[in-house]
Amino acid sequence: MIPDTVRWGDLWAPIGLSLRISLLASLLVFVIGVSLAWLLRRRRFPGKLALETLFMLPLALPPTVVGFLLLVLLGRRGPVGRFLERVFDYSLLFTPGAAVIASVIVAFPLVYQSAKTGFEEIDPDLEAAARSIGASNWQLFTRVSLPLAWKPLVTGYILGFARGLGEFGATLMVAGNIPKVTQTLPMAIYLAVDQGKTALAWYWTTATILIAFGMIFITTKLRK
């Protein structure tokens, strides 16, 4: 049983924060991943393989390596961190924004690969026909490519959301574990287990499983 001293707000805080971070991160990574996948889908240029390998790298790297690189980039001595501090007098580290960035980085390979697969499955003749009647790149993207590839794109979005929801290592390094500020579900579960609060750990674990189950269920249904 969860102790009576634990308030509902404390129980909901990690869930709500994780959902907000995952939602924002998944929207950002969806726009970035889909845009790059469409722009690069049939282009051939020197270094494309190296570029796409770089895109997929976060999928193979340990989260702590991604977190360390982000820490160097966003820290006070890093290019981004130094710029933000000098221009806006603002530090991104240990804020929800840092957690969003970490989620975007680790989710990007899944979204990009799903979008790339979807766009590559489109018959080139259909795009050629649209161009022959005067369709612009924007019209081709919005009226031909997106409708034809919507299933892989939705799958990519859901996978990106789920990946962001479960992110732990990189988020911990750049956003910390501040209750009601940056403490997401994975960190709340870890802390609860570390402190011997098994009931709390089960509560948050169950919430995570239910959310993830719903995401995977939708993805599996779309693939059929």
Burial class (CB in 10 A: 0-12, 13-18, 19+), 34: buried
Provide the residue-wise pLDDT of the chain in tens; the chain has 224 residues: 555 555 666 788 899 999 999 999 999 999 999 999 999 987 888 988 999 999 999 999 999 999 999 999 998 888 988 898 888 888 888 999 999 999 999 999 999 999 999 999 888 888 888 888 888 888 888 888 899 999 899 999 999 999 999 999 999 999 988 888 999 999 999 999 998 888 889 999 999 999 989 888 887 877 66
Sequence-distant (6+) residues with CB within 8 A of 197 are none
- Could you give the angle at which helices 96-120 and 48-60 cross, rounded to 10 degrees? 130
Which domains does the chain show, CATH number per domain?
17-182 (1.10.3720.10)
What is the CA angle 135-139-144, rounded to 5?
95
CA distance 194 to 190: 6
Phi-psi region of 41 (alpha: psi -120 to 50; beta: other; left: phi over 0): alpha
With residue 21 as reference, give the H or E element that holds it. Answer: helix 8-40
CA distance 143 to 133: 13
